[in-house]
Structure 1
Amino acid sequence: MSYLYLTILFPLIGFIILAAGRDRLSENVAAIIGVGAVGLSALTTLYAGLDFYQQGGMAYNQNLWTWFNVGGFAPQIGLHLDGLSLLMTGMVTGVGFLIHIFASWYMRGDEYGYARFFSYFNLFVASMLVLVLGDNLALLFLGWEGVGLCSYLLIGYYYVNPANGWAAIKAFTVTRVGDVFLLIALFLLYQQFGTLDTVYIVENAHVVLTDSNLAFWTALMLFLGAAGKSAQIPLQTWLADAMAGPTPVSALIHAATMVTAGVYLTSRTYTVFEMAPQVLQFISITGAVTLLVAGFAALVQTDIKRVLAYSTMSQLGYMFMAVGAEAYQAGLFHMLTHAFFKALLFLSSGAVIIACHHEQNIFKMGGLWKKIPFVFACFVVGGGALAALPFITVGYFSKDAILGAVYAHGQIANLPLYNCLYWTGVAGAFLTSIYTFRLIWLVFFGQEKTHAHPIKGVTYWGPLSILLVLSTGVGALLKAPVEKLLTSAQIPVFAIPESLEHAVHGAEHTAVGIALGGLVIGVILFAFAYNAVKTIANTGFGAGISHIWRTAFGFDALYNIVFVKPFLLLARLLGRDPVDGLWLLVPALVKGGHKFTSYRQTGLLREYASSIGLGVVVLLIVLIITQVGV
């Protein structure tokens, strides 16, 4: 597996060629380079996976060179391949390759620079691969910052519209807040372990992190760093605005790369979190609150991509609930299945947007199932997986495993908190079914409001076909191989005692039943009683609730008051640099003294005599006062 570095090198070379060529490259050449680079990376990953399997799942390390050496701190540019990193690399390159193929169709004729787009896309994949393959946390942080930079470049890709630029700045700024927390965590880890080698930290956390207070703050900083990238409350506000970028960008960010980085980090360093049980509970609570807030927000969105964005936030909440319940394998498997069906949904929404002449408002669509039946089928399968329809979709096999694990963890640890979190997750599943049906119904049924033209091309339907199959129950066949991979990487299996198996199955069946009930409610509300829904929404109370949900409970407005406005006020106050202005008093005083003394040099004898006389009087007065005081 000495060729492992090629998985990163191929997209990096693609980025360099595309960035250097830019407008000098035709669209066909740019597509071949951009898509081909990630395709070669995917093939290398496949070959590495086969080699990994033949060697019995033994972890492999490849040290390329020493990055730097400062005061004995000498992190390597080194790669580490085990079951977890292989899973992540396969997801990034495999799903990323399909998204690149689709993007080659979607971005045709783009006036902002076809080659420029693919250069950013290739760099994004390369950065994510550095993140997941790096054998130390310093290298992980390099990839972490790389995907942050690429998200800024791609979200603000349509730079002519200032709103897109602000969305990119917002994503970059909010995720940087999380990155500061992650950097603090790295400092704490290096202080305690003397290294940032990931394997060493994971294997020795139970021995080194004996100070519970220090373990708490280290784990908390790690999670807050992860929360920034994975859009968990309170650092979730950037995700919905990230829809400003092209639709393939949304698919890549939300399905296979950036937002999954936080889940990967917390699962990779799970032993650190096990030394701080309070932080694990906090992670589950954060995930539960996030999925509920995102579920309500998705219910009332009008932009097709924003509905899917909030659904991403919600599904990430389930993954973090699993991490907090120590069901790491369940969370990681849901991350994989989510990559399949969310990429399918985002790319399908891109096809809808192209068919409707770049219209994204779902209330201006309708009746599309006849015009683009294949896209309709993709939406039904992807939406079914999102809502976790039992047995026939892959989402059922991953999401319900998380809910069952959360319920079981509460029973095993005798923590009523996790029972509450289980019911929160069930409520989130109920909301998911409603807003998923709402989305599909408004887009594909009813009266046609925007004339849609047929779409065609193998680069459009090919990736969708593969993702469609993987989003059905067929994708569940990957569960056993994924468990084997993660077990080889020493990611713990969440074991349910035999005495609890019946109760856990009952909890999972309850979750399925309530999710199906949500689907029935969605059918009633939007297929049969939509006029009543609109009537309620137009009342004062309905409009108020809709506004709260549409703005995702006002986090943006709150942050604007608490952080943005005070910062702008401070910037205005310090705009002229008062410290620098204070130092300007010195030359002003010297200049004033010079002007005064120069003014007194008149050359008139009587003025000089009067000045001397005045000075003598002043001296006499001072002398008298001094003597009297004595």
Structure 2
Amino acid sequence: MLEVGAVFPPLLGALIAGLFGRSLGDRGAQGVTIGLMLVAALCGTILFVDVALHGNPRTVDLATWIASGSLEARWSLRFDTLSAVMVGMVTVVSTLIHIYSVGYMSHDPSIPRFMAYLSLFTFAMLMLVTADDLVQLFFGWEGVGLASYLLIGFWFDRDSANAAAMKAFIVNRVGDVGFALGIAGVFALTDSVAFNGIFAALPEVAARTITAAGIEFRAVELCAVLLFIGAMGKSAQLFLHTWLPDAMEGPTPVSALIHAATMVTAGVFLTARMSPLFELAPTALAIVTVIGAATALFAATVGCVQNDIKRVIAYSTCSQLGYMFFAAGVSAYPAAIFHLFTHAFFKALLFLSAGSVIHAMDGEQDIRRMGGIWRKVPITYAMMWVGSLALAGIPIFAGYYSKDMVLEVAWASGTTVGRFAFACGLIAAFLTAFYSWRLLILTFHGEARADAHTMSHVHESPPVMTVPLALLAIGAVFAGLVFYEPFVGHHYSGFWREAIVIAPEHRAMELAHDVPAEVKYAPLVLAGAGIATAVLFYGLAPRLPAALAEAFPGAYRFLLNKWYFDELYDRLFVRPACALGTALWKGGDLGTIDRYGPDGVAAAARGIGRGIVRIQSGYVYHYAFAMLVGLVVLVTLAATGRL
């Protein structure tokens, strides 16, 4: 069946490459995983056309997952429009990343393990987006978390990679606590974990309240907020975003897979999937909007001063995810998914192009040590331009249609939080164009800043890397134009059918098509201004950025240190936890438990043993004296009548 063929081949590839990689060899493992990914991509594309474009949703029931009392979770593959869009996008982008990895990882000694991890990651994401209930979704959710830990820490001989993998795993666990509580709350509220059962029960339970810490909450609001906390962790929203930049410690294909089509988009998908719940929770929607808008602005400011080529693009991902969330927050879920869809192509293109630059520069990632290489890597240079134009939202490129739609729905919502999101989005649009062209100019133009040896070896990547770039570039150019009308056009509701539910009073999607002209053109004008500013700063007056940094050192350090979130969390959580752990270790474990427990008993036994040893001296007169003392004691006791 097509449904099984779209989901399970990556798992099969992961098992074969992981268990038999040594026997297959590097080429064998690559061939198996890529071949099976091609099968998944073909099936996923056919399903996208049949389910999303032709309107033939279906659910494939595989087995019983959990059956305990009223809790029943089925292992089913749900293919409605939302799932079909995600499956088609994930399988295609992941397949191209698998192919690209053949060239990028050609000199790595652990190629079968890497390919197995990539396929495992893809399978977990497919499990997530095809889930028919919250239990299976949680399985896929945790699966991508595990696979991301393995991929980020793939080069485990590097301390920085191990630390980044642990950080990603732990920060995501913080969000997952909220997600797990949200699932429990939804089950307690609706007596179901299946999406159809949950959505059918919501109208009857929408008015129920719950009291916590003496405060009364509407139950649906609390459940929606808890689910969003999980989404915040997985999609790196403000306060739970700190793992995302450090995830760049993994190989570049990992960065593309995590930041483009899979893990970080899971939170946006969850919000859209649970739209019937969020539509009953206006406070939760307002929180989603504010957090998304703040994330878009925060990440854009930080991206302007980063010097690692992959970290600049990583903060771009964080910012674009903020756009998706504030679109969802104003009930424009189709706009959020549309931007998610187009973003997958141009962000994967940008990451893989950055990997091509790193490959050409012999592992160098600092853009301050690049420059003057565009003639030596013309294909990579052109692909980076395409990705940057799409990211900046320049007309005909994919980002122009999706990002502008996100901003238009924020304005059209007419709410205070919507207008706040619109303002943050406009500022972020200017900054996005600025740091994109800063990256282009410093990486490819100007004088060569690398050493002569590195420059002499700069070369274009092989076709196995550049062909996936070209295919992604097609999506980065045309995905917005081709899919605008079905995704967010006037008849969007017919396309999404029952996969996304929007309350009648939330009309941002309809009103977005009639916003004033200044709202429509403001993002484009600001993007142009951002590009012009970058050209001025790094092309025409290259000394200006350093002068500004010297003139405003506090602001520069604030941005360079990512608003000091890591330092703040270190002071608030890490140091107190370490201090408490040290106190419990030294005072509780060593000072009390060990002292009076095992160590104390052992010390007493040793002391008694030493005393007994002293008695056994081996001298006859010592024994005679002891006998005499004993005799005196016995006689004394007998004489006094105590014996």
TM-score (norm 2): 0.88
One-letter identity of the residue aligned with 2:544: A
Question: How far did 1:122 drift?
Answer: 0.5
One-letter identity of the residue aligned with 2:431: L
Give the aligned partner of residue 376 of structure 2.
Answer: 371
- Distance in 2, matches of 1:592 and 1:367, equals 75
> For 1:64, what is the secondary structure of its paired residue?
strand
Compared CA separation, residues 28 and 497, structure 1 to 2 (3 A): closer
- Distance in 2, matches of 1:353 and 1:363, equals 13
**Is 1:514 paired with 2:520?**
no
Contact 2:52–2:81 (Cα < 8 Å) also in 1 = no
> For 1:157, what is the secondary structure of its paired residue?
coil
Question: How far did 1:612 drift?
Answer: 7.0
> For 1:75, what is the secondary structure of its paired residue?
strand
Give the aligned partner of residue 425 of structure 1.
Answer: 425
Compared CA separation, residues 569 and 379, structure 1 to 2 (3 A): same
Contact 1:186–1:196 (Cα < 8 Å) also in 2 = yes
Question: How far did 1:85 drift?
Answer: 0.3
Write the deviation string for residues 84-134 of structure 1: whole angstroms up to 9, x where unpaired. Answer: 0000001110111111111111111212x1111000000000000000111
- Distance in 1, matches of 2:143 and 2:89, equals 18
Matched ranges for 1:441-480 at <5 A: 441-450=441-450, 451=455, 452-473=457-478, 475-480=480-485
> For 1:575, what is the secondary structure of its paired residue?
helix
Give the aligned partner of residue 345 of structure 1.
Answer: 350
Give the aligned partner of residue 402 of structure 2.
Answer: 398
One-letter identity of the residue aligned with 2:582: R
Question: How far did 1:525 drift?
Answer: 1.5
One-letter identity of the residue aligned with 1:290: T
Contact 2:412–2:511 (Cα < 8 Å) also in 1 = no
One-letter identity of the residue aligned with 2:334: Q
Q: 1:296 aligns with which of 298, 301, 306?
A: 301
Write the deviation string for residues 166-206 of structure 1: whole angstroms up to 9, x where unpaired. Answer: 11111111111111110111111111111110122234323
> For 2:446, what is the secondary structure of its paired residue?
coil
Compared CA separation, residues 388 and 6, structure 1 to 2 (3 A): same
Contact 2:272–2:500 (Cα < 8 Å) also in 1 = no
**Is 1:528 paired with 2:546?**
no
Give the aligned partner of residue 626 of structure 1.
Answer: none
Question: How far did 1:397 drift?
Answer: 0.4
**Is 1:551 paired with 2:550?**
no
One-letter identity of the residue aligned with 2:75: I
588-597 or 210-219: bigger deviation: 588-597
Give the aligned partner of residue 542 of structure 1.
Answer: 552
> For 1:516, what is the secondary structure of its paired residue?
helix
- Distance in 2, matches of 1:19 and 1:156, equals 16
Q: 1:140 aligns with which of 137, 142, 160?
A: 137
Give the aligned partner of residue 208 of structure 2.
Answer: 211
Contact 1:251–1:343 (Cα < 8 Å) also in 2 = yes
One-letter identity of the residue aligned with 1:362: I
- Distance in 2, matches of 1:313 and 1:439, equals 17
Write the deviation string for residues 474-508 of structure 1: whole angstroms up to 9, x where unpaired. Answer: 64212234345423524449745988865444312
**Is 1:308 paired with 2:308?**
no
**Is 1:224 paired with 2:229?**
yes
- Distance in 2, matches of 1:447 and 1:462, equals 29
20-29 or 316-325: bigger deviation: 20-29
**Is 1:188 paired with 2:185?**
yes
- Distance in 2, matches of 1:58 and 1:440, equals 44
**Is 1:9 paired with 2:8?**
yes
Give the aligned partner of residue 44 of structure 1.
Answer: 43
Give the aligned partner of residue 30 of structure 1.
Answer: 29
One-letter identity of the residue aligned with 2:497: T
Give the aligned partner of residue 156 of structure 1.
Answer: 153
20-29 or 313-322: bigger deviation: 20-29
Give the aligned partner of residue 248 of structure 1.
Answer: 253
Work out the number of aligned pairs and report it: 606
Contact 2:128–2:141 (Cα < 8 Å) also in 1 = yes
Write the deviation string for residues 342-398 of structure 1: whole angstroms up to 9, x where unpaired. Answer: 000001001101111111010111012111111111111111111111x22110101
Q: Over the residues paired in the alignment, what is the CA RMSD in angstroms?
A: 2.8
Compared CA separation, residues 405 and 27, structure 1 to 2 (3 A): same
Write the deviation string for residues 502-527 of structure 1: whole angstroms up to 9, x where unpaired. Answer: 54443122222222222222221221
Contact 2:309–2:354 (Cα < 8 Å) also in 1 = yes
**Is 1:318 paired with 2:323?**
yes
> For 1:69, what is the secondary structure of its paired residue?
strand
> For 1:181, what is the secondary structure of its paired residue?
helix
Compared CA separation, residues 612 and 515, structure 1 to 2 (3 A): farther
- Distance in 1, matches of 2:11 and 2:331, equals 36
- Distance in 1, matches of 2:584 and 2:319, equals 40
Write the deviation string for residues 137-172 of structure 1: whole angstroms up to 9, x where unpaired. Answer: 101101111100110000011111111111111111
Give the aligned partner of residue 577 of structure 2.
Answer: 567
Contact 2:330–2:508 (Cα < 8 Å) also in 1 = no
Matched ranges for 1:77-156 at <5 A: 77-111=75-109, 113-156=110-153
Unmatched tracts of structure 1, length 5 or more:
617-630
Contact 1:58–1:488 (Cα < 8 Å) also in 2 = no
365-374 or 202-211: bigger deviation: 202-211
- Distance in 2, matches of 1:469 and 1:141, equals 33
Compared CA separation, residues 102 and 416, structure 1 to 2 (3 A): same
446-455 or 547-556: bigger deviation: 446-455
Compared CA separation, residues 584 and 237, structure 1 to 2 (3 A): same
- Distance in 2, matches of 1:252 and 1:232, equals 18
Question: How far did 1:403 drift?
Answer: 0.8
Compared CA separation, residues 206 and 592, structure 1 to 2 (3 A): same
TM-score (norm 1): 0.90
Write the deviation string for residues 297-320 of structure 1: whole angstroms up to 9, x where unpaired. Answer: 111111000000000000000000
Over the matched positions of the two proteins, sequence identity in percent amounts to: 36
Contact 1:206–1:271 (Cα < 8 Å) also in 2 = no
Q: 1:267 aligns with which of 266, 272, 282?
A: 272
Q: 2:282 aligns with which of 267, 277, 280?
A: 277
Contact 1:88–1:132 (Cα < 8 Å) also in 2 = yes
Contact 2:409–2:512 (Cα < 8 Å) also in 1 = no
541-550 or 324-333: bigger deviation: 541-550
One-letter identity of the residue aligned with 2:435: Y
> For 2:72, what is the secondary structure of its paired residue?
coil
Compared CA separation, residues 340 and 50, structure 1 to 2 (3 A): closer
